[in-house]
Structure 1
Amino acid sequence: MEQKLRLRTIEKTDLEFLHKLNNDPDVMKFWFEEPYMSMEKLKEAHEKSQNSTQHRQFILALDNEKIGYVGLFDMEERHRNAEFGIMIDPEFQGNGYAGKATKLALEYGFQQLNLHKIFLFVAKKNEKAIHIYEKIGFQIEGELKEHFFVDGTYHDAVMMRIFQRDF
Structure 2
Amino acid sequence: MDVAITEIKRCHLDVLHEWERDEKLQVQTGVDVPRTYEQFLHAYKAYLNGEKPNLYLRAVLLDGQLIGKVELFRTTEKDFIGMVIAEKRNSGVGTRALFLFLDEIYERFGIKHVFAEVYEDNTRSLHFFKKNGFQTTGEKKREWFRGKPRELITMKKDLQ
**Same fold judged by TM-score > 0.5?**
yes
Kindly indicate whether residue 110 of structure 2 is the aligned counterpart of residue 114 of structure 1. yes
Equivalent positions of 1:17-96 (< 5 A) are: 17-50=15-48, 51=50, 52-76=52-76, 81-89=78-86, 91-96=87-92
Secondary structure at 1:142 match in 2: strand
Kindly indicate whether residue 119 of structure 2 is the aligned counterpart of residue 123 of structure 1. yes
Instruction: Please name the residue that 1:156 is paired with.
Output: 151
Aligned partners of 1:57 and 1:70 also within 8 Å: yes
TM-score normalised by structure 2 residue count: 0.88
Q: CA deviation at 1:75?
A: 4.8
- Superposed CA RMSD in Å reads 1.8
Structure 2: state its 5+ residue gaps.
none
Instruction: Please name the residue that 2:94 is paired with.
Output: 98
Q: 1 CA distance for matches of 2:2 and 2:100?
A: 12
Q: 1 CA distance for matches of 2:99 and 2:129?
A: 10
Could you report, residue by residue, the CA deviation over 1:83-142 in whole angstroms, capped at 9, with x for unpaired residues?
1001111x4223232222221221111122211221111112223322221222111112
Aligned partners of 1:19 and 1:39 also within 8 Å: yes
Aligned pairs, how many?
A: 158
- Identity score, percent: 22
Secondary structure at 1:94 match in 2: coil
Secondary structure at 1:92 match in 2: coil
Q: 1 CA distance for matches of 2:60 and 2:75?
A: 20
Give the AA of the match of 2:96. K
Could you report, residue by residue, the CA deviation over 1:44-79 in whole angstroms, capped at 9, with x for unpaired residues?
111211213311111110021110111111354xx6
Q: 1 CA distance for matches of 2:126 and 2:146?
A: 21
Q: 2 CA distance for matches of 1:97 and 1:153?
A: 32
